Amino acid sequence: MKKIYNESASKKLAAYSAMAATMVATQADAQTIVYEDIDDVTIEIGDIVLVDVNGDGYDDFLFQATSSTGGVWSFGRVFGNVPSYSVGAVSNKVMGYSGAILPYGSALDAGALVSASADFLGDSSSNPGNVAFLNSIYSGATYGQFADVTDKYLGFSFDVDGNTHYGWMRLDGTVGPVTLTIKDLAYNSTAGESIETGDMGDVVQLSLIDASQLTAYSFGNTIHINVNGLEANNAQVQVSNALGQVVYNNNLDMSGMDIVLNNAATGVYSIRIVADGAVFSKEVFIGQ
């Protein structure tokens, strides 16, 4: 999970920066369940939250809470395919149903199956954004299954390198006022394989990369990464700004590398390196 945008976003930065703090991978029945336990992030009226499910630098879903002029209608919703925001893909959808006027997301209990046979919303001429309304209040009447609920699950599908994966997010919702709270999520890293809502597998904490094997520091607009004996089959480096926006995402050069951020604003940036499941994190200061 990556970004929050609104005029008062600063009050949420502390909570938001911890959203990707704990990722755990679990093995069950030869399938890998990837589970992310996050600090709860509440979406209020005026907020847009972009969710990068698997931390690959590509945003998969856009959550929004908004209100019509005069506040007659307030609602929370999620999009799976918003090209103008560079969010999602045609196959990024949530489970739901068609109401009399609008499409709504289904608030599932634990143990519901999220799979190719589930009812997903979107991918049609009438719903090109793969949108689902979650909770809504209109002239005092409430709509949507996430209106005033706690610990309900939203099943979803999303694209990874052209393959469809299935997962869940656990949410709370209110309508007085309209808010949505994202609490945690998980997905099956085996393409096409199902997952049950609430399934976290057998949780195993990711290990930390030994500090002697990686060093990172900045000078001006450049981040220098030195690799000292680290061996990994798959290693990725990601750099994010203080708002959680990913400004660089690529494979780690095992011989060391320099990352030049020519157009980056002056400020603190977070480096996150994942190498064969082990993690290295550091904050650096970028100045032009």
- What is the C-alpha R_g of the chain? 20
4, two tokens: 């929050």
pLDDT digits (tens, 9 = 90+) for 213-250: 999 999 999 999 999 999 998 899 999 887 777 899 99
Mean pLDDT calculated for residue range 13-38 = 51
Whole-angstrom distance, CA of residue 240 vs CA of residue 268:
9
**DSSP codes of every residue in 52-63:** -TTSSS---EEE
Confidence of residue 25 (pLDDT cuts 50, 70, 90): very low
Average pLDDT along the chain: 86
Whole-angstrom distance, CA of residue 170 vs CA of residue 186:
9
pLDDT digits (tens, 9 = 90+) for 54-81: 877 789 999 999 998 677 899 999 999 9
Confidence of residue 203 (pLDDT cuts 50, 70, 90): low
Question: Quick one: which of 145, 177, 147, 5 has its CA closest to 74?
Answer: 177
In which residue are the tokens 């809470």 written?
65
Is the pLDDT at 130 greater than 80, yes or no?
A: yes
* HEC profile of 163-207: EEEEEEEEEEEEECCEEEEEEEEEEECCCCCCEECCCCCCCCECC
Contact predicate 197/111, CB 8 Å = yes
Mean pLDDT calculated for residue range 23-46 = 71
- Ordered by where they begin, the domains of the chain are 3-196 (no CATH), 214-286 (2.60.40.1220)
In which residue are the tokens 């979406």 written?
43
Confidence of residue 211 (pLDDT cuts 50, 70, 90): confident
